[in-house]
Amino acid sequence: MSKRDTMIRALCKSLGVDYRVTTIDLERVIYRDFGNGFNVEISGMHTSSMKKKATIYLWYGDTMTECIIVKTVRDIPRELIGENVEELMKYSNLLIAQGYDSYDKLFRLKYGKTINYAGGVKNMTHRIFYGTDFKLTDSDKKMFSREGYECKDLLQGRAGLPVVVSQKQDKNFPIWKVQYGFSCLVFPTYEDAMDFCRDRFTRLDGKAV
């Protein structure tokens, strides 16, 4: 076992039985589930340095499409990690008491209302099609992934023009957006984005969304 592994395990043990070492986003971190829908990720402690400070993320949810970072606390010395985690647990219980007990409610608390702005798809990659018409397929999703967004669904609008449903690859701001023509709408969840697309657009094979 490496020195880094030994140190993170020792720190985890010192914090108490509610903590465990796990891997999140390819990083060894310390994790604690509060049991109320919230959990904490203690990052930066897979190190051989006693001086390095931790970043603590308060999460809500435990699935990739339904989780959100509610609060981030940075530059926490090792000896103050436990104290800060307890404060975050109190904060999570306060949020629940105030009615913020779901992904959607917490997203709106953190980011506000859905955004609607112009600008659309002007920076998309151009593709040349030969023949009388063109046809996109699911394999073209990568072509529409750019500027920190990953295309998750390709739909089509009138005249077969592309409609791009993508997610921002930022765990602090995991919004979804729908781009079509010169318009772009932003939504808190994939379900909200697809609800907007229903009855407006179709899938690439012409079937309903």
Provide the mean pLDDT of the chain: 85
Confidence (pLDDT) at 20:
97
Instruction: Tell which wins on pLDDT, 37 or 146.
Output: 37
Q: Examine the pLDDT at 121 and tell me if it is beyond 70.
A: no
The CB density around residue 42, as the number of other CB atoms within 10 Å, is: 26
Instruction: Tell which wins on pLDDT, 55 or 184.
Output: 55
Confidence (pLDDT) at 128:
45
Q: Examine the pLDDT at 119 and tell me if it is beyond 70.
A: no
Confidence (pLDDT) at 104:
85
pTM, entire model: 0.59
Q: Examine the pLDDT at 153 and tell me if it is beyond 80.
A: yes
Q: Quick: pLDDT tens for 63-116.
A: 766 788 899 999 999 999 999 999 999 999 999 999 999 988 888 887 765 544
Domain boundaries, the chain: 3-111, 116-203
Long-range own/partner contacts, residues 92-101 (CB < 8 A, 24 or more apart): 92/34, 92/36, 92/37, 92/38, 92/58, 92/60, 93/36, 95/38, 95/70, 96/36, 96/37, 101/37
- What Å distances lie between residue 42 and 28, 69, 81, CA to CA? 9, 13, 8
Confidence (pLDDT) at 32:
98
% of the chain at pLDDT higher than 90: 50
Confidence (pLDDT) at 134:
54
Q: Quick: pLDDT tens for 13-35.
A: 999 999 999 998 788 999 999 99
